[in-house]
Structure formats: structure tokens, C-alpha cells
Structure 1
């Protein structure tokens, strides 16, 4: 092989390597720039969404605040609240505590417990601990309004009166 051929092949090799190296560097820089642009656009979109949600929530809370102020000034609401307090204070206080606790625990482990376990896999419900942490009056109310309520689970709010006979 002649010297001119060797020089030509050497020059060609250096040129090809230079072109390939330049292409790789340019592609890497371009990729980094594109990644940075996409990340910045995603950040801007998230910030815009956050600000929009913040404004919506702030507006919603202001609406609730104004409604609460309006309702609290209503004489019928004040009268009702006073009536609820009086009814709570007059609620019967004495009943066989063991019987009520047993029926409440049966309700929480049976009907309610099954639904709870189905909706919350991996969670455990300990009715005994829950019932021991509430007052006798709260236990009595839970018995009358929940456990002794003939309406099915999910419709307990349909109860409209209690019979203490």
C-alpha cells in the first residue's frame, strides 16, 4: 500500500471518527436540552394546576364560611341547637350496661365488621377497644341509633323515632 493511500485512509478515518464523535455529542446535548424543556413544561403545568385547585378550594371554603355565618345567625338554627342540647341532656342514662355493650360488640363484629373488613382489606377492627373508650351515654346512643336500629347498614339514617318502652 502506497503512502498516499495510507494518508488518504488515515485522513478518512480521522474525519469519520470526528463526524461520529460530533454527532454523538450533539445528540447527547440535544437529549439533555429536550429533557430539561419537557421537565420544565411539566413543572409549569403542575404549578398551574395547583394554583387553579388552590383558588377553587379557597373559593369553596369562603362560600362555606359565608353560609355558616348566615346559618348561625338564623333564629331557627339557634333554637334547634338549643333543642338538641336539651334532648341530649335528657337522654336516658341508665340501662343494663353489659347488655348494651354485648349487643354493640355483636353489631360491630358482625354486620358492620364484615362490611368494614371488605372495604378495608388488611385493617383490623377492635370493637372492644372502641367501646371502652366512649362514655356510657355515647354507648347507649350508639346502641339505640345504630345497633338496635332495624334499618340495614347504610340506611341507619332512616330512623325517625326511638321507642323506649
Structure 2
């Protein structure tokens, strides 16, 4: 599994709580300071998730990580890619967006195992991201939580060959 970004570690902790003891989780985080927080003062709040033996934390741009796996046929594919970043896809997605544009989503598909899951947090629906998912051959659902002005969403997408979500 690939998780990005680390943030305060709550997404990582939730994933670890559901995964098997032999799971392998790679965390892609741009900022080493954030990793330090999760291994230091935030560690008790997340049951030391960043130090879990199943976790490898890489200080890397997740787009670079995904591209590397996508282009190397000898690398094991991810069963899940979870993007829980400070900013998800906007309503309109630039064609060259490194995470949510059509080429980026196609790279995600190539980096996933055939029955893998692509999950993306966002503040609201994104027609542009949905077009990119469709163009890359994903079926998706948009799950919403919250009320009023603060609604959060998670796209859950699977390659079409794996069936619907």
C-alpha cells in the first residue's frame, strides 16, 4: 500500500489497524519535519504508526514514487494507493496536474495491482478528476461525510477490469 501524505498520521494509523501483520506500507511525504512530528510529539496519538515495522517512510514526492513504479515492469505493484493530501483535486483539473490530471491517473493505474484500489480525499466533487478516472479506465464512487459548509469526500476507484466498486 502507498499512503501520501503523512500529515498527523491518522490515515496511516487507520490503515495499519485494518491491515494484516505482514502488510507493507510505503508512506510518501515531502517534508521530513512532518515525519519528525509523527515519530515524536504526535506518536502517542497515533500509536507510533510511523515506527510500525510494516511501514517505510520515504521523503519523496508521491507523483515521483508512482511514476517510478508505473514505468518499471519489475517492481511489485501497490494493492492500494491512498492520497490524503492537504489539497485534493479541484473542480477543474489542469491536463498536466501531476496528481489528478489524465496522465497522472493513468500512471496510478499502471502502478496498481490489477485489482487495486485508488482512494483520494478531497473537499468536494471534481468533474475534471472524474473525467481523468474514466479516461484511465477506472470505475469510481464518491463517498461524502460531513454537513453544511464542511463536507469531505473520498473517491474510491478501481480499474474497470476489476469490476465496479
TM-score, normalising length: structure 2: 0.22
Name the structure where strand makes up a greater proportion of residues: 2
TM-score, normalising length: structure 1: 0.22
Higher relative contact order (CA 8 A, sep 6+): 2
Name the structure where helix makes up a greater proportion of residues: 1
